[in-house]
Every structure is written in C-alpha cells, then in structure tokens.
Structure 1
Amino acid sequence: MPSAAAVSFFRQRLTAHRHYWRSSAIGSVLEPVLFLAAMGLTLGALVDRGPGVPGGAGYLAFLAPGLLVAAAMQTATGESSYPVLGAIKWDRVYEAVLATPACAVDLLAGHLLYVGFRVATSATAFLLVLLLFGAAESPLVVLAVPVALLTGLAFAAPVTAMAARLEEDAAFAALQRFLVVPLFLFSGTFFPVSQLPAALEWFAYATPLWHGVTLARELALGTVDGGSALLHLGYLLAWTAAWAALAARALERRLVR
C-alpha cells in the first residue's frame, strides 16, 4: 500500500492538475475520439466491405479497445517525461518533497498514483464514447479500463526511470518519434500484428502495448480466454514491477546520493 507521504504527494499533483485539466483532456480524450471517428467510421466502412478483420468483428469494434489502451500509453508517457524532469531540474518540486520525511520511493509511488488517476479517468471517458458509438460487443468491455490503467503504468515506470537520468529534454522528442509513435502504429491497435514481417511481429509481442491492446480487445469482443488473460496480465505486472524498481533506484541516485 502507498505510504502517507506518497498519498500526500499524489494529492499535491491533483491540486496542480485542477488548473490545466481542460487542456490535458484534449490530448488524452478528444484526440483518441477523433481517431475513433475518422478510422472506425470511415476507413472501417471500407474494411468491412472487404474481408474484414479476423474473427468477423466489425472494424469499429476491433479498433476502439485498441485506441483506448494506446491512448493510455500516450497519457502515461506524457505525464512521465517532461513533468518528471521538470520536477527534478527546473521546478525542483522533488527536492522540496524530499526535504520532508518522504523518500524516493514515496515520490515514485505518488507519481504513479497520479499517472494511474490520469489514465483511469481518461480511459473511463473514452469508454463512454466507445459505448455511444456502439463499439462494444460484450459487457466485459468495462474491464478494459483497468487493463488500460495497467498498460499506462507499464509505460510510466520506464519513462520515469529514463527521465530521472537525463540532463536535457531533447531525448523526449526521440522517444515520441522512434518509440511511442511506432508502437501506436504497429502494436496491434489498427491491424493484427500477424500482418507484419516476422521480425517485427515478434517485436510487437514483446511490447506491453500489444499485451494491453490484445487483452482489452478480447474483453470488448467477448472472446477472452482465462489462460491468455493471465498471460497478458502477468506480463504487464512483471514489466511494471521491474521498471518501477529501476525508476525508484534512478530517482534515489539522482536526488539523494
């Protein structure tokens, strides 16, 4: 369970978020909704006229849960890059927190709590839009929100570890250009990864986004299998735990030692 110090830091982040939540909603909710409308309703109509997607689902139903999880990745990455480096180097918020009895682990826990809040609220809003579009074929689609939450944390932890080691922010542009965008396009959000060349297909299987997208899609379509669900959840949990430990170590080295 998070400590009292971690919860206090989380509350501080929530207080700050009140001042810019409207602008943050544009990137975390409105942009995915526009993607859903543009790709699911227009391109989707063309896909459905052809062979369609595996399993016989409509393209809108195939796309929507993938976009929900991919948006969680983007939200978590954004909240763990510039804000973390800024709190370390420019605003020095982390130094102020560490002047209290809090430690680096409390900082990380509070940060991940805040990222979880951002991902969960954005995913819930997107889920409501998804339901309005009629893009869910099973009531299990509601479980796509905790899947998105876990996927977001699986990206927040390594990006936080990266940010804690940087001196300048130039690497974040490369992160978006060469990792986040390719994962968004080629990890199963828009089409099955089986359509990729073999090497890229296996690379996609190794990414937490593919596991999150696949599990959320199976829940939304009502095709989820217990064994595969446990595999996806186990992968995401192990990935998050490993990188969270590395992120805590990086923050301690940067701020304490």
Structure 2
Amino acid sequence: MVPSVRERARPSLPRVPALAVLNFFLVGYRRTWRAGVFSSFLLPVLTVLGFGLGVGAYIDQGVGGVRYLDWLVPGLIASTALQVAIGEATWPVFSNFQWIKTYFAQSAAPLRVGDILAGNLLFVLVRVLTTIAAFLVVTGVFGALRSPWAVAALPVAALLGLAVAAPTFAYSATVSSDSWLAMLFRFAVIPMTLFAGVFFPVESLPAALRWLAYATPLWHAVDLCRAATLGVAPQWSVAGHLLYLAAWASGGWLLARRAFGRRLVV
C-alpha cells in the first residue's frame, strides 16, 4: 500500500520518544557542563574539607562513636543530590516555559507531554548520578566510606532526585515569576538542608521540629545513605524509606504531568 503525501511528510516517532528529549538536553549540557562543576561537585568537596576535616577536628568523640567526617559525608551525598535535582527543576524548567519556549517547540514535534516530562526527568537523573558518583570517588579517597555498601547511595540519590525534582517541575510550571523560585530555595531547600540530619543528628532537635524533619524526603535519603556508607542499619526500615521517597516521586509526577499538560495542550 502506497503511503499518502501526509504520511510521507509526517516525521516518524523515535522508538522511545523520551530518550530523544534526553538526548536534546545532553547535547546542550555538553556545552555548559563546566558552569555547573563548582556548584554540583567542588562546593560539596569544599564542604567536606571545611566541615568534615576542619570542624571535625574539634569533635573528639565524633557522632555515635563515628568520626565526624565519616558521619557527615552521607548527609552531604543526599543534600548534594537534592540541590542538583532542585537546581535542574527550577530555573531551567521555568525558562523552557517562559523565556526560550523549548517545551512548546518540543510539543510541536511528534512528542507527547509525558515524553517531554520523562525525558527531562531522565536528564535530571543523569546529572544526579554523575555528580554523586564523582562525589563518592573523592570521599573514598579521604577514607570516609566505611562499607562497600556505599555504592547503594547511588540509587538512593537517584530516587531522592526524582522525589524532589518531580514536584518541583510542577511548581516551576505553574509560577508566574522566577521570584517564586528563589522563595522555594529560601523557605524549603535551605531549611531542609539545615535541619534534616545532614550536619547534626535530628534527635538533637525539639520534638516538633524533629517530626518536620522526618516529613522531608531529604531525611529519609540521609538515613539510607548513612546506613550504606557506615555499614549499619537505618533508623527506619529500608522499605519504609524507599516507599516514602517513591510516593513523593509518583505524586510529583502526577502533579507535573497535569501542570505540563495545562501549559502545553491547547
């Protein structure tokens, strides 16, 4: 059967359309990756040197019998994954809607809303995994990884990245000004980083603040990463942590899918 003129003119869909979107962002990142090296890699390493070795030198007993550097590193692994994911889910997403209109160009191609969202989230995963892999190598050189289970921090970081990036995609797709993105960092990301067990045990907080810390996805990833790098059991069950993070990721996906659909489907 001879195809019609319209069928011959219509571009064919990739076998996995989301991978085409991922490739688009990877091509762009190949030109700009140097700009993100400091914030996503060198800054956490400097934090390890400053807090882990500098402040840690004044903490003779460590934390729970563990050297402070060893105790701190898994918290920094999780918080770095959080910051990389949030960074990719705020201004870049807002820009693709408001300023450079990339999403509208992609939706004009044979791509569905779910393909665009999935491809962009895959790019966030690539950024998180490459950053955390390099971070593990560097902290391993410092001797801060006490267990071979430390490699399990990679999938934990990936799940945390999805858990925070997906709902942030929805947020960035709905706000009208980038001032709201700065407020997200000021009132959510910074407090979460300070009080979710990265730098000191959550048990040191008052009871009310402690439960707020438990409600954040970051604390669950910190507990899992700390258990992996120290070779100990987490405070909560592994399944409970993973299900909680997965709930954030799946709920965020639904919200982001709805927000993207409202903006892109006319």
TM-score, scaled to structure 1 = 0.95
Deviation at 1:79, TM superposition (A): 0.4
Deviation at 1:224, TM superposition (A): 2.7
Partners of 1:153 and 1:24 in 2: CA distance: 19
Residues 23-172 of structure 1: pairs in structure 2 closer than 5 A: 23-47=35-59, 49=60, 51-54=61-64, 56-172=65-181
Partners of 1:191 and 1:152 in 2: CA distance: 22
Partners of 2:40 and 2:251 in 1: CA distance: 26
Whether the 8 Å contact between 1:10 and 1:114 is mirrored in structure 2 is yes
CA RMSD of aligned residues (A): 1.5
Partners of 1:239 and 1:105 in 2: CA distance: 18
- Match in the other structure for 2:28: 16
Residues 91, 39 of structure 1: alpha-carbon distance in 2 compared, 3 angstrom cutoff: same
User: Partner letter of residue 21 of structure 2?
Assistant: F
* Local SS of the residue matching 2:87: helix
Partners of 1:6 and 1:256 in 2: CA distance: 17
Q: Which moved more, 1:220-229 or 1:28-37?
A: 220-229
Q: Percent identity?
A: 46
* Local SS of the residue matching 1:20: helix
Whether the 8 Å contact between 1:3 and 1:106 is mirrored in structure 2 is no
Deviation at 1:225, TM superposition (A): 5.5
Check if 1:243 corresponds to 2:252. yes
Deviation at 1:89, TM superposition (A): 1.4
Whether the 8 Å contact between 1:72 and 1:151 is mirrored in structure 2 is yes
Q: Which moved more, 1:112-121 or 1:163-172?
A: 163-172
Partners of 1:58 and 1:190 in 2: CA distance: 13
Deviation at 1:3, TM superposition (A): 6.7
Residues 207, 114 of structure 1: alpha-carbon distance in 2 compared, 3 angstrom cutoff: same
Say which of 212, 221, 225 aligns to 1:216: 225
Partners of 1:250 and 1:89 in 2: CA distance: 14
5+ residue gaps in structure 1?
A: none
Deviation at 1:32, TM superposition (A): 0.4
Per-residue CA deviation, residues 150-185 of structure 1 (Å, 9 max, x unaligned), is 111111011100011012100111111111111111
User: Partner letter of residue 157 of structure 1?
Assistant: A
User: Partner letter of residue 140 of structure 1?
Assistant: W
Deviation at 1:52, TM superposition (A): 2.7
Q: How many residues align?
A: 253
Partners of 1:225 and 1:113 in 2: CA distance: 28
Partners of 1:243 and 1:115 in 2: CA distance: 14
Residues 80, 217 of structure 1: alpha-carbon distance in 2 compared, 3 angstrom cutoff: same
Moved over 4 A (4+): none
TM-score, scaled to structure 2 = 0.92
Partners of 1:80 and 1:219 in 2: CA distance: 27
